[in-house]
Structure 1
């Protein structure tokens, strides 16, 4: 449960083991669980070669498939327009010091149930961005059915833990537009990478320039966990992540009818945050 402030109201959206600078201050530093010291192999992603290159100049490198990065996907003027529109809507408190805005169906992942709920579509300004995405071969046929805006602030200690996105409802490609500041997306394999001779945890840093677009698919989507660490948020950062439907909800799938209904709502581009 999230800690309570003196007036009884939760000061943040953190639950369980997750925390931000606000609730950590209330708990006291002594109550925080420190991460154990361990061996980690560090690499950085080179988008020109598609290789993960060791931060040690003499270290190994390996092919890192499933990441597509396009710089300057939006202009400064578009970024300003998008942020202004978002800030006119309500931001809801979320885990680990983040704030969020959801445009998507009502989902219970544990019970594997989905329904439209209050979903009214993706926001109007996203329509031109989705059309622009279609110009990239990597995003041919991309039809997003959900958009999540996340607001990161270093003063709150915002972050997101290493995780894999659901693959029951969400499809192959995860698409994110990074706004307001540069950051680093950290990809990780706790079990190591045997094919590269690495038995301990492997981390690959993917630099995300301001106003860039990044796509995760294949191994980067299903094998490698992704995270934004607190130390990589230096200024306010806002991102919009778009998700498409899995095969189960597309024509020929078990829930194709529900998928068609959700897409009709999403691609009307008349949405407001839920």
Structure 2
């Protein structure tokens, strides 16, 4: 089933004041958000660039993913999140891309990437970064408003949601196109880029549902013309999502950086046993921590979280 989002325009009204209603005629689910009433007759095409497929995963497949993810070590991330990141090393400021230690993805997640081939919008999609993100209300987890860097991350951002429902909030971006390297999106001929100003009103907020076990694709106007975020108030219980990214056209065949892109794409063909890799990762983390602690014994320079 497909899900479409409709826009809500408001002036000086906080997102927390919005009411959310769902309607499921035939095989579709439409989100309508408004302050005082629900309008189920608005044109869902008013906010292009969002595609959601409900029940992309079965409950059994969700359990397989969560069990595998939780068997692997987590790293602390920003805004109360934890993450597991598999992808090349990127220096966004200097626009440098390195293979570094990237050698593919956990084997238990392979079926998700293979299922992308059944989604027409994801034709020829080749994952080069896969990131598991955990949102826990105990830590006040959230994501700040942003646009994914347009120098390296391609035209379709994909997310698969696990464990609980949440919302993705969009606000129109009116800043400098140099920020987020938006200018890079105009240096090549994007396949999905359409008119960026798809909402005529000045103050516009779009609330897109992210149902449990659904697939979400952000592309075109929604990707390049709007910042998106996950609000703290929209995380009521543990949520894990797997985010996928592809390369931009200059890093693909016949592009300026094809050679570097090919190196990354070759590594992305690998899938490995996470149980073996997890043991190695824990050993490396322990070795790093032990070495750092030994160094601090000589220097007296202890990090704040290692003083007790």
Q: Give the TM bin, normalised by the shorter chain.
A: 0.7 to 0.9
Q: Distance in 1 between matches of 2:197 and 2:123?
A: 33
SS in 2 for 1:85: helix
Q: Distance in 2 between matches of 1:198 and 1:217?
A: 21
Encode CA deviations 1:164-214: one digit per residue, 9 max, x unaligned. 0011111100000000000011111165x98654222x1111111110010
1:189–1:203 contact (8 Å) kept in structure 2: yes
Partner of 1:85: 68
Aligned residues: 237
Partner of 1:208: 210
Q: Distance in 2 between matches of 1:71 and 1:173?
A: 18
Tell me the CA shift for residue 107 of structure 1. 0.7
Partner of 1:199: 202
Q: Distance in 1 between matches of 2:245 and 2:60?
A: 25
Partner of 1:180: 163
Q: Please report the RMSD computed on the Cα atoms of aligned residues, expressed in angstroms.
A: 2.8
Tell me the CA shift for residue 57 of structure 1. 3.5
- Using structure 2 for the length normalisation, give the TM-score: 0.70
SS in 2 for 1:65: coil
Structure 2 vs 1, CA of residues 238 and 40 (structure 1 numbering), >3 Å: closer, same or farther? same
SS in 2 for 1:97: coil
Structure 2 residues without counterparts, runs of 5 or longer = 1-10, 175-195, 282-308
Q: Distance in 1 between matches of 2:78 and 2:198?
A: 35
Structure 1 residues without counterparts, runs of 5 or longer = 1-36
Q: Distance in 1 between matches of 2:19 and 2:104?
A: 39
SS in 2 for 1:133: helix
Structure 2 vs 1, CA of residues 119 and 194 (structure 1 numbering), >3 Å: closer, same or farther? closer
Partner of 2:291: none
Q: Distance in 2 between matches of 1:222 and 1:134?
A: 24
Partner of 2:270: 268
Structure 2 vs 1, CA of residues 43 and 167 (structure 1 numbering), >3 Å: closer, same or farther? farther
Task: State which of 61, 64, 67 in structure 1 corresponds to 2:50.
Answer: 67
2:48–2:198 contact (8 Å) kept in structure 1: no
Tell me the CA shift for residue 239 of structure 1. 0.3
Q: Distance in 2 between matches of 1:157 and 1:212?
A: 23
Structure 2 vs 1, CA of residues 195 and 246 (structure 1 numbering), >3 Å: closer, same or farther? closer
Partner of 2:150: 167
